[in-house]
């Protein structure tokens, strides 16, 4: 009876993942389920070493992992936010000279939003922000943004949490390069244990 080991770094999928885990546990109550939170690069490495059975990550550059199967579960665009308001990512990138010297509060490298943003700047020969605060957990972020008057990047579905501090429009244009695509990944090129195959099917249908 080996454990089912699951890696997670997928903002917005937490509820669906936990519903799936609960369903798996009810159907197989004696099996231990382990949940590991790490940066996406670490999770991919652990999956390739077979230290994890499944991982939930963003699809950024996953096409380089041809032996890994990916099932998308969530699509979302991103916007930049601060106490000054909301800006589309296109506004920020095209007007980067007016934003690059501001304080930026961003996830550490290895988190999908940060990796995608770094790639957008690099592709346009733009320097990354020099005044930077990095985080790997969301605890206290709202207070930090308000006190520093810094800029951050969030998925559009998280904008509802910002309505107490800033005015939010009904919708925003989203930039193709900053589209998050989160989902389930596993070593599809290799045979899987039966309980892993069963878990994959549960998560594919999780709502």
Q: How much of the chain exceeds pLDDT 90, in percent?
A: 71
Res. 169: pLDDT tops 80: yes
Residue 171 banded pLDDT, cuts 50, 70, 90: confident
Res. 140: pLDDT tops 80: no
* pLDDT score, position 12: 86
Res. 6: pLDDT tops 80: yes
pLDDT tens-place string over residues 172-193: 999 999 999 999 999 999 999 9
Encoded tokens for 30: 């004696």
Res. 110: pLDDT tops 90: no
Of 49-53, 139-143, 144-148, which gets the smallest average pLDDT? 139-143
Nearest Cα to Cα of residue 155 among 89, 71, 70, 85? 89
Of 96-110, 140-154, 171-185, which gets the smallest average pLDDT? 140-154
Q: How much of the chain exceeds pLDDT 70, in percent?
A: 100
Mean pLDDT of 128-133: 94
pLDDT tens-place string over residues 24-41: 999 999 999 999 999 888
Residue 114 banded pLDDT, cuts 50, 70, 90: very high
Q: Which residues is 106 bridged to in the sheet?
A: 134
DSSP-assigned letter for residue 173: -
Residue 141 banded pLDDT, cuts 50, 70, 90: confident
pTM: predicted TM-score of the whole model, two decimal places: 0.86
Mean pLDDT of 95-102: 96
CB contact at 8 A, 203 and 54: yes
Residue 131 banded pLDDT, cuts 50, 70, 90: very high
Res. 207: pLDDT tops 80: no
In a 13 Å sphere around the CA of 139, the CA atoms on its Cβ side amount to: 2
Q: What is the mean pLDDT of the chain?
A: 92
Res. 138: pLDDT tops 80: no
What residues contact 179, with CB distance under 8 A and at least 6 apart?
75, 76, 77, 78
């Amino acid at each position: 009876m080996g454990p089912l080991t699951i890696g997670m770094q997928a903002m917005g999928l937490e509820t669906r993942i936990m519903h799936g885990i609960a369903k798996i546990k009810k159907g197989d109550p004696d099996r231990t389920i382990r949940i590991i939170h790490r940066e996406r690069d670490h999770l991919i490495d652990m999956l390739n070493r077979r230290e994890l059975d499944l991982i939930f990550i963003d699809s950024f550059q996953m096409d380089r992992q041809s032996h890994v199967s990916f099932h998308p579960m969530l699509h979302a665009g991103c916007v930049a936010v601060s106490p000054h308001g909301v800006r589309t990512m296109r506004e920020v990138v095209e007007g980067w000279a007016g934003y690059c010297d501001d304080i930026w509060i961003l996830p550490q490298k290895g988190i999908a939003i940060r990796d995608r943003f770094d790639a957008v700047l690099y592709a346009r020969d733009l320097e990354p922000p020099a005044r930077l605060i990095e985080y790997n957990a969301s605890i206290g972020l709202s207070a930090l943004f308000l006190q520093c008057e810094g800029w951050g990047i969030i998925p559009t579905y998280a904008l509802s949490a910002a309505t107490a501090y800033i005015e939010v429009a009904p919708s925003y244009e989203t930039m193709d390069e900053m589209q998050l695509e989160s989902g389930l990944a596993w070593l599809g090129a290799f045979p899987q244990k039966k309980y892993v195959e069963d878990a994959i099917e549960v998560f594919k249908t999780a709502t």
